[in-house]
Amino acid sequence: MSLGIISDWYRRILADRQLMTLLVVLLIGLISLVLFGDMLIPLFASLVIAYLLEGPVQGVQRLGLPRLAAILLVFALFLTLLFLCFFWLAPILIRQISQLIQQLPMMISRGQKALLLLSERYPGVFSPEHIGDITGVLRAELGRFAQQVLSFSLASVLGLFTLLVYLVLMPILVFFFLKDKKRLLGWAGGFLPSERSLAHQVWHEVNLQIGRYIRGKFLEILIIWVASFATFKLLGFNYAMLIGLLVGLSVLIPYVGVAVVALPVALVAYFQWGLTREFSYVLIAYAVIQLIDGNVLATLLLSEAVNLHPVAIIAAILFFGGIWGFWGVFFAIPLATLINAVIKAWPRSGQEVSGAG
């Protein structure tokens, strides 16, 4: 009986030409990501940036400018921001990272002293031997990290060359993605059969949702970053720009990012002030920023873009992040949205077969 059900389902899928078109497109996309994902990172990153800029371009068009003029204006602003990030922001972040790495041995020593005080108060829970083992492991990991930094610096010439290629190549790709959007979509659609209403339905929903998600998520990261930096700077918190960036990036991983980034915030604040009022002020400020983000900002920016259950979001982050690392985490929700759109468009049992007959 079960084999007969599977056989009928298989024949129904093969008979539906539009469904087969959708499956072939998805299969080609998946194979391309798996086989050529690393090589196509500049292309994917340029697509993301083009999605970000498409909203401002349409906004300028609504003011009465033709599309080409709107693209040139927005693209000029994008190049200005890119210049500022590369020549102003990047040196600040690199300097703060270097300072933090230099402070790590002292932080470990202070942490060892704090743990030894705990062992004196609670000898049955913390023994000096265990504390020595913990600090030994931390120092060993710190040594490995320093070696990795050194090896990275030795390969910095190649990395700098690659970065320069990306800085030239990606803006060119972004410009042509914006300028020739209709032409590129028409060219890609020319490879599909004429009966592709199901694939078009899925593409329309995914294109709308992913565009909203990328623009909304970028604005959310930027706002949380700026708000965190301003707050930490006002409190006199060290590495305010770097920690603020971490807090901004924490919104990429819903639910999990808040807990993960809370650890470096608490550790840096503790080693700067100890268990003082300033330490508690930083933790309270971090909690308030995350509460405002989760209950107000994310709702305003992403309410129409993400219509997924929290379990589905976490599962997508774990799955795609395990496959593609950072980019898998970044695209986890758009990819989950794609899967959700395919599930919605998939013919149910008893539904008429669109391409048969």
- Residue 296's pLDDT is 82
pLDDT on residue 194: 61
Residue 212, Cβ neighbours under 10 Å: how many?
Answer: 19
| Encoded tokens for 77 | 């602003």
d(CA 354, CA 177): 33
**Which pLDDT belongs to residue 301?**
74
Going by pLDDT thresholds of 50, 70 and 90, the confidence category of residue 106 is: confident
For residue 217, the model assigns a pLDDT of 83
CA distance 183 to 188: 9
DSSP structure string for 230-244: HHHHHTT-TTHHHHH
* Mean pLDDT of the chain, nearest integer: 76
pLDDT at 218: 84
DSSP state letters, 283-314: HHHHHHHHHHIIIIIHHHHHTTT----HHHHH
Calculate the CA 186 to chain-centre distance: 29
- Out of 107-121, 291-305, 327-341, pick the least confident: 107-121
pLDDT band at 129 (very low <50, low <70, confident <90, very high): low
List phi, psi (to 5°) of 82: -65, -40
Q: What is the pLDDT of residue 258?
A: 86
Residues 23-41 have pLDDT tens digits of 776 777 777 766 766 677 7
Of 95-99, 100-104, 127-131, 303-307, the poorest mean pLDDT is in 303-307
What whole-number percentage of the chain has pLDDT above 90?
17
**Mean pLDDT on 121-133:** 65
Residue pair 46/146 in contact by the 8 Å Cβ criterion: no
Report the number of secondary-structure helices (H) and strands (E) in the chain.
15, 0
Of 4-13, 249-258, 274-283, the poorest mean pLDDT is in: 4-13
Q: Is the pLDDT of residue 210 over 70?
A: yes
Q: Is the pLDDT of residue 255 over 50?
A: yes
The pLDDT of residue 355 is 42
Q: Structure tokens of 216?
A: 């909304």
Structure tokens at 205: 């929903």
**φ, ψ dihedrals at 184, nearest 5°:** -65, -40
Q: Which of 18-32, 284-298, 328-342 has the lowest mean pLDDT?
A: 18-32
Between residues 263 and 255, the one the model is more confident about: 263
Cα angle for residues 14, 20, 21 (degrees, 5° grid)? 155
Ranges of H-type helices in 63-127: 67-84, 90-121
Q: What pLDDT score was predicted for residue 357?
A: 37
Mean pLDDT, range 280-289, rounded to an integer = 94
Residue 40, pLDDT score: 74
Per residue in 47-105, pLDDT tens?
878 888 888 898 899 988 899 999 999 999 999 998 888 888 888 888 888 888 777 77
Distance CA 69, CA 57 (A): 9
Print burial letters for 62-72: b (CB count within 10 Å at least 16), e (below 16).
eeeeeeeebbb
pLDDT band of 303, cuts 50, 70, 90: low
Q: What is the pLDDT of residue 52?
A: 81
How confident is the model over 10-26, as a mean pLDDT?
Answer: 62
User: How many angstroms separate the CA atoms of 93 and 197, rounded?
Assistant: 48
Q: Is the predicted pLDDT of residue 116 greater than 90, yes or no?
A: no
In contact, 264 and 243? CB cutoff 8 Å: yes
Q: What is the pLDDT of residues 174-204, one digit of tens each?
A: 999 888 888 887 777 666 656 566 666 666 6
Which pLDDT does position 354 carry in this prediction? 42
